[in-house]
Amino acid sequence: MELMTAGVTTREASVDDVTWHILGQTYVPKHRSESSMSWHATFPHGTFVPHHIHTTQDEFIYVLTGELELELDGGAPVKAGPGDLVRMPQDVPHGIFNRSGKDATCLFWVSPTANLWDLFVAIDNVPDPAEIVRLAAQHQVDFLPPPSA
């Protein structure tokens, strides 16, 4: 993997013209280097990323439009709206949900990149959640059982 280069990634551009479709969301990678990776994400209402842990990365979300609800480290749900930054340190369980009634867009990034690019390639358009969980575990992302009600 290359070192990050200086420059501008335009609104329309993505790394290698890639777009991923994962769990009903659309991810457009904006940069990739050894030290970090970022992607623009569109979360339609009702979509979510189940509770999981990144064992080798810190993860961040900067909300652009709409609202996301986060469940972080077993705490009460918190909401993040436009201009809010969500911080999810390595090994902290988190789930990401759009329960707002409208689409949300955001910029995600992780540091370091580790195996996340390869995971997204592997789970692009995979419809079976059990297969996503299996593949994620091979790429240093561990999905957790649903929280008890």
- For residue 123, the number of C-alpha atoms closer than 13 Å in the C-beta half-sphere is 26
Q: pLDDT tens digits, residue range 97-137?
A: 999 999 999 999 999 999 999 999 999 999 998 899 999 99
* Concatenated DSSP letters of 20-66: EEETTEEEEEEEE-SS-EEEEEEE-TT-EEEEEEESS-EEEEEEEES
Q: What is the 3-state secondary structure (H, E, C) of 122-147?
A: HHCCCCCHHHHHHHHHCCCEEECCCC
Instruction: Report residue 5's pLDDT band, with 50, 70 and 90 as the boundaries.
Output: confident
Higher pLDDT, 4 or 90: 90
Is residue 149 over pLDDT 60? Answer: no
- Confidence at residue 147, expressed as pLDDT on a 0 to 100 scale: 65
- Confidence at residue 2, expressed as pLDDT on a 0 to 100 scale: 77
Instruction: Report residue 4's pLDDT band, with 50, 70 and 90 as the boundaries.
Output: confident
Burial of residue 64 (number of CB atoms within 10 Å: 0-12, 13-18, 19+): middle
- Confidence at residue 3, expressed as pLDDT on a 0 to 100 scale: 83
Query: Domains of the chain: which residue ranges?
Result: 15-139
CA distance 81 to 84: 6
pTM of full prediction above 0.85: yes
- Confidence at residue 54, expressed as pLDDT on a 0 to 100 scale: 95
CA distance 143 to 48: 13
What is the rounded average pLDDT of the residues 83-87? 98
Indicate the CATH number of 15-139 among 1.10.10.10, 3.30.470.20, 2.60.120.10, 3.30.465.10.
2.60.120.10
CA distance 139 to 54: 9
Q: Are 47 and 98 in contact (CB under 8 A)?
A: yes
Q: pLDDT tens digits, residue range 101-110?
A: 999 999 999 9
Q: Are 144 and 53 in contact (CB under 8 A)?
A: yes
